[in-house]
Amino acid sequence: MPFKTHPTLRRCGLALAATAALALSAAPAVQAQSGTTTAPTTTNTADDSKLDRSDRKMLQDLAQGNMAEVDAGKMALEKSQNAEVKKFAQQMVDEHGSSLADVQALARAKNVTLPDGAGAMAKTKATALKALSGNLFDREYAKRSGVGDHESTVKLLQKIQKDGKDGDLKALAGKMLPTVEHHLEMAKQLAASAAAAKS
C-alpha cells in the first residue's frame, strides 16, 4: 500500500522547497554584493542606449551644435538686412537642419535621448545676438555662429572620428565633416566682409 502524504504536509513541503529555491537563487547576488569584485549590472532603464557614455555625449553635443546653428540662422534671416548674411543663414538652416535629422535618426537607432534644445552657452550667445542690430549684428553673427561655432563643431567631428567607438557614429561624423569645414571657410569670408562694412 503506497504511502500517502497528508495534504497539509504536502503544501508545507512545497512552500519550503520554493523558499529554499529563492534563497539559493539570491545567494550569488548577495555574494557578488559582499565580495571584493563588483558584479556587472544587468538592469536596463529607459535611458540605456546602444552607445557607451562618451559616444552618447558626443552625439548629444552634435545635436545641440546643429540646433544652435539652425536657431542662429533663423534669427539672422529675421534680423539681418545684408543679402550675403541672409544667404549664408539660409544655408545654415537648411544644411544643419538636414544634419540634425541625421543625428536624430541615429539617436533613435541607438536608443539615445537627445536634448530638446541648444546648450546653455548657445542660448547665452543667442540672447547677446538678439540685442544687436544692423552691421553689428551681422559681424557678431558671422564671428560667433559662423566662425566660432563651426570651429567647435569641426573639433567635435574630428574627436568623434578619432575617439568614437561606434561605427555608425564615426560614419556620420565622416559624412558631416566636409560640409562643416566648407561652412567654416564660408563663415571666415563672411566675417571678413562684415568686418570691412561700416557700422
Picking from 153, 143, 142, the residue whose alpha carbon sits closest to that of residue 179 is 153
Question: Sorting pLDDT into bands at 50, 70 and 90, what band is 16?
Answer: very low
What does the pLDDT look like over 41-76, one tens digit per residue? 333 343 567 899 999 999 999 999 999 999 999 999
Element (H, E) at 155: helix 149-163
Q: CA-to-CA distance for 56 and 100, rounded, in angstroms?
A: 15
Res. 156: pLDDT tops 70: yes
Picking from 151, 119, 144, 148, the residue whose alpha carbon sits closest to that of residue 129 is 144
16-35 burial: b if 16+ Cβ within 10 Å, else e: eeeeeeeeeeeeeeeeeeee
What does the pLDDT look like over 162-171, one tens digit per residue? 999 999 999 9
What does the pLDDT look like over 105-124, one tens digit per residue? 999 999 999 999 999 999 99
- Is the torsion defined by CA of 141, 143, 148, 153 positive or negative? positive
Kindly report the pTM of this predicted structure: 0.74
DSSP state of 131: T
